[in-house]
Amino acid sequence: MEDFISRLDSHIARITKKYLEQGYFLAISNCMALLGYGSEENPLNALVKSQGSQIQDRDVLMGGTSLDENSKATVTFKNALHLFNKTLQVHLQRIGDTNVLSFLHVTLVFIRYMSNIPRVIDILDLNWASLVTMLNSILAIHKPSSYTVIEGSQLPKPDPIGRRNSTELQQPDIAGNHSDASPSTDEFRPFPEEWAMQGLGWTADYFPPGWFHNPNVESEKHYLEAESMRTEHRPERVLWLGIQIARIGGAIAYDAATHTFTLPGVPAAAAARADEAEAASGRGAVVAEGTGEGRRAGSECTTETLGTEVEVEMSDAEMGECCDAVAAGGSGSFSRLAKDGGPDF
């Protein structure tokens, strides 16, 4: 697992727009693994089903009196949680890379759902400071067409005709392959990751009625990606989810007057200075989109071999192999990808 995590950043940088598809597959796999794929023995799934009425705190869930810390279900959950947080951190550090936003979209839908259930969000032990940094960077790089869009209570519906410009008239393609040809039609379509999330339990209250019932969208267009989705509509959706999470929980805050995300009790100016300090330290360095340039200092995506630093990359097949291992319920092995025979997951 550690080898997979260490190689993920360079993989994202190498395949650029193709990662839009792989990213949401990985995010969905991570979320489903956390819930044990519906297993009644999974501690998080048990808490979600009980809505917090039967398991009262984090210590009990994570190995106290109600659960055996060494049980297979608990160990598997801890491994899934480790993978969830580590892969999320890799994506949050890729400031300025719109190709990671499909992953963040799916992950924030999951976090929003879990924020509504008492005590669950504390169990996930998220790095809220990194999330605040990423959200503020999206606000700066992809300024919303209207703040009312991201600050409203209703799920934003992309308006491809009303807000498009000449740079957005590009042919939507499958799996992040983009063409410069103009599309024949420009109707509203849900994001590709929304079709992939449709029907999952933690998306039940996310999509408004009729969201997927556009008769003008043919089934073969479900996974097409328009440039406007990537550069405008998906950033807005991620920001909207960030604001919804801030309103539900209290782990992060949003100031509508300054249009800034902060940690509770931290003034916006101080949060901005902290973001700058994090970027300067290399933990949140700006990534030049579509390249490996600007990758954070001290990247985990390298390995030292005989004193020489060598970049490690994953092929598309290896990335799929990793996702398949997660989708198998946490019993798959990543050791085939690890040059040093790393640990199984």
CA–CA distance, 238 with 254 (Å, rounded to integer)? 14
The predicted model gives 45-57 an average pLDDT of: 67
The predicted model gives 129-149 an average pLDDT of: 95
pLDDT bracket for residue 38 (50, 70, 90): very high
How much of the chain exceeds pLDDT 70, in percent?
A: 59
> Which of 160-174, 274-288, 291-305 is the least confident region?
291-305
Is 123 in contact with 44 (CB distance < 8 Å)?
A: yes
pLDDT bracket for residue 65 (50, 70, 90): very low
The predicted model gives 38-65 an average pLDDT of: 67
pLDDT (0 to 100) of residue 271: 58
CA distances from 63 to 31, 44, 85, 118, 270 (A): 21, 12, 19, 18, 37
Find where tokens 């959706």 sit. 237
The predicted model gives 26-51 an average pLDDT of: 92
pLDDT at 44 over 80: yes
Centre a 10 Å sphere on the Cβ of residue 185 and count the other Cβ atoms it contains: 11
> Which of 161-175, 192-206, 259-273 is the least confident region?
161-175
Is 271 in contact with 139 (CB distance < 8 Å)?
A: no
Name the E strands within the chain: 173-174, 224-225, 253-255, 260-262, 302-305, 308-311
Segment 97-123, tens digit of pLDDT: 999 999 999 999 999 999 998 788 889
CA–CA distance, 169 with 183 (Å, rounded to integer)? 7
pLDDT (0 to 100) of residue 5: 95
Segment 11-33, tens digit of pLDDT: 999 999 999 999 999 999 999 99
- Phi, psi at 286, each rounded to 5°: -65, 135
Find where tokens 């308006």 sit. 159
Is 252 in contact with 246 (CB distance < 8 Å)?
A: yes
CA–CA distance, 306 with 210 (Å, rounded to integer)? 58
- Phi, psi at 94, each rounded to 5°: -90, 65
pLDDT (0 to 100) of residue 190: 87
CA–CA distance, 62 with 85 (Å, rounded to integer)? 16
DSSP 247-298: HHSSSSEEETTTTEEE-TT--HHHHHHHHHHHHHHTSSPBP-TTSSTTPPTT
Which of 53-62, 127-136, 195-204, 306-315 shows the highest mean pLDDT?
127-136
16 versus 336: the higher-pLDDT residue is: 16
**Residue 131: both structure tokens together:** 């999330």
The predicted model gives 193-213 an average pLDDT of: 89
CA–CA distance, 55 with 38 (Å, rounded to integer)? 17
The residue type at 117: I
Q: For residue 77, with 0-12 CB atoms within 10 Å meaning exposed, 13-18 middle and 19 or more buried, which class applies?
A: buried
Segment 253-265, tens digit of pLDDT: 999 999 999 999 7
pLDDT at 193 over 80: yes
Find where tokens 């009644």 sit. 40
Instruction: Look up residue 95 and give its DSSP letter.
Output: B
Nearest to 107 by CA among 84, 125, 140: 84
For residue 36, give the 3-state DSSP assignment. helix
CA–CA distance, 129 with 253 (Å, rounded to integer)? 11
pLDDT at 302 over 50: no
Q: Mean pLDDT across the chain, nearest whole number?
A: 75
CA–CA distance, 160 with 165 (Å, rounded to integer)? 9
pLDDT (0 to 100) of residue 337: 32
Map out the domains of the chain as residue ranges.
Answer: 2-151+231-327
pLDDT (0 to 100) of residue 304: 31
Checking phi first, is residue 97 left (phi over 0); if not, alpha (psi -120 to 50) or beta? Answer: beta
Is 129 in contact with 188 (CB distance < 8 Å)?
A: no
pLDDT (0 to 100) of residue 267: 67
Segment 153-171, tens digit of pLDDT: 999 887 654 444 434 434 4
Query: First CA to last CA across the chain, in angstroms?
Result: 6
Is 287 in contact with 141 (CB distance < 8 Å)?
A: no
For residue 58, give the 3-state DSSP assignment. helix
pLDDT at 80 over 60: yes
